[in-house]
Structures are given as structure tokens and as C-alpha cells.
Amino acid sequence: MPQEESVLDAMNAALEGEIESPAEEIETPEPQSEPEGEPEPESEPEGGEPEGETDEEAEARGAERNADGTFKKKEAEKPEGEKPVEKKAEPKAKDPVNDPIPTGLKKETTERIRTLIDTTKSVTAERDQIKQDFDYLIKGVEATGASPAQYGEVLSWMSLFNSNNPQQQEKALELVESVAERLATLLGKERSVGDPLSAHSDLKDAVQKGQITAQYAKEIARTRNGQQFRTELTTNVTQEQQRQQAAAQELQTARNDLSQLEQTLLASDPSYEAKKAILVPALKPVFASIPPSQWKQKFTEAYRAIRVNAPAAVSKPATTNQPLRAGKQPAGGQNRAPSSALEAMSAALLGGGK
């Protein structure tokens, strides 16, 4: 077929380079098209001004000048609708104490982690309280401007004064006299000693009438003043002891009331244990701020207001004949769970609550 031969011949000629271009036509390479994408930035004229902007226009827009006197380049305006690039927030640092316990762990592992977290929080709270008390004491001493030697002197005097030993108290008097003498010397003033007769008008009258001598009257006045002061000290000690005894009695009464209340609730409410688990940590700050005589009332009010789902009946596991080991602690060294609301509340008030 001639058509197929001519096509075949043309293909062979093209592959072997036998097709010649006409002499009058000169092949010129076609310019390569630039790849599609962002156009190359136009070259900027020296001086920093945008292309096409004159010095008058740059000065009119208030452009700043470079060190060589040329105007700074005008910043390109952002296209409308373009949102500023937001910085990615740094990942939150992990907190092994306050972060939730991972799910899917064994019950024993979860309980051990919870125990360790509670212990850490308790120790941290005690440490912070001790540090706060220590700082309060130290800052208080520093605020007085006292030197270590002066502070030690004050502590020594307090120990001698409260010793109830006449010989030690005489040393306390000597120390006070020494301090008073130094202060009077510093101020350049003469020391004035109090008149023991100032509070005893009968002795003053007796001295004025010549019934007794002034020296004897002062001796009587010092004896009276000493007896009065000792009576005040004894009264203060007695009142403090009575206050402590009353507080201890109030605390014991509150414990007994809570114990009796718990026995009543256990016998009448099957949801008592679930309610107790919620009430104990919730009432901890409340009980710490009110007298023990109000504990029963507050517990009763909170108990009546709480609502929980009734617990499902749980079948008791079959007992085995394996002997128990005496003195065996729970796994992981955990403490025994509170056996009563009173015990749990006491633990909460003493800092052992969650």
C-alpha cells in the first residue's frame, strides 16, 4: 500500500535525521517559557525606595531615611483577608502530681499511684507550712533590727523570767537593769525608777503623818506589788489550763456525737458509705474553721443535702482456707482505710484527708 510506505518512509527519515529544512528558513531556538509560579521580584533601585516612587512621594508619606540619605523602602501591604500567622502554643509541661491518673491500669497500680500522690501532697503541705512559720519568725526578728546577740539576750531573759526560781529571776532583773542603763546612756538621760508607793494611798498617808518611815512604807509596797503580780501570773496560768481542758472536753464530746450519729446512719441508710466518701473531704475546711461543738450540726446538714445513687448489691467472695499472715501490711505499704466517719473526719482535720 503506497500510503503506508510513504508514512513509513517519512517516519524513518525523521528518526535518522534525513529530513532537511528549506535553505531559506533558518531555525531559531524558541525562548523557553518560565515555569509557572511566583514571579521573580523586580529589582529595586538603589536607595531603598519602591520602583516608580520619587523622593517627593517618599517624603510626602513620611518615609524614614537611611544612613546615606536615601529613603527607606515602603513595606508591602498584606493582601486583604490574609490572617496573621499564629504561633503554635508550647505543649503544657507534665505535672505528675496533679495530672489525671492514666486509665486502663490495674486496680493495684492505680491505688498505689493515688497513695503516692496523696503522700506527696501531704508532705508538700507540711513542708510549706513549716517554711511559712519559719519565714514568719525570721522575718519578724529581722524587722525589729535586732542582731543575733540581742535576740539571744531577749530569749535568755524570757527563760530566766519564766523559771519561777527566785535566783534565776534575780538574774533576769539584773539583765533588765543592764539593758535599761545602756538605753539611758545612749539617750543621755537619767534613769527614773518607778515609785512603789504610787498605787498605795494608805501608805502615802501614813508616811505624811509620820506613822511609818518612807523606807518601811516602800518595803510594804514592794511586798504588795510582788504578791499582786504573782497572783496575776497564777491566774493567767490557771485560766489557760482551764481553757485547754474545756477544749479537750469539747473535742471529746464532738467525737462521741459523731460516733453515735454514724451508728444511727449506718443502720438506716444503705448509701451511707458513699455519702461519707464525699462528705469527709468536703467538710475538712469547714470543720477546721468552726468549734467542735458545731461538728455534728454541720455534718447533719451536709448529709441531708447530699444525694447519691443506691449501691448495687455485691456478692461476697468465697472464702478460702488459706491462713492469714500476722502483721501483714497492705500491698505497697498503704495505710488502712478509715473504718468510720469519725476516724475519717479526724484524719481529714489532722491533714491526712484528701
Q: pLDDT by residue (tens digit) across 64-104?
A: 777 777 777 766 655 565 666 666 777 778 888 888 888 88
Label residue 58 exposed, middle or buried (CB < 10 Å: 0-12, 13-18, 19+): buried
In one letter, which amino acid is 339?
Answer: S
Mean pLDDT along residues 258-262: 90
Question: Could you tell me if residue 48 is left (phi over 0), alpha (psi between -120 and 50 degrees) or otherwise beta?
Answer: left
| Residue 225, C-alpha cell as written in the block | 506589788
| Res 64: pLDDT | 76
Mean pLDDT along residues 262-280: 88
| Res 308: pLDDT | 74
Does the pLDDT value for residue 221 go beyond 80?
yes
For 206, residues 6+ apart whose C-beta sits below 8 A from its C-beta are 212, 217
Does the pLDDT value for residue 56 go beyond 70?
yes
Beta bridge partners, 310, equal: none
Is the sign of the CA dihedral 261, 263, 269, 271 positive or negative?
A: positive
Q: What is d(CA 200, CA 9) in angstroms, rounded to the nearest whole number?
A: 151
Beta bridge partners, 115, equal: none
**Residue 6 banded pLDDT, cuts 50, 70, 90:** low
Is the sign of the CA dihedral 51, 55, 61, 62 positive or negative?
A: positive
| Residue 325, C-alpha cell as written in the block | 499472715
236 vs 4, more confident = 236
**Residue 243 banded pLDDT, cuts 50, 70, 90:** very high
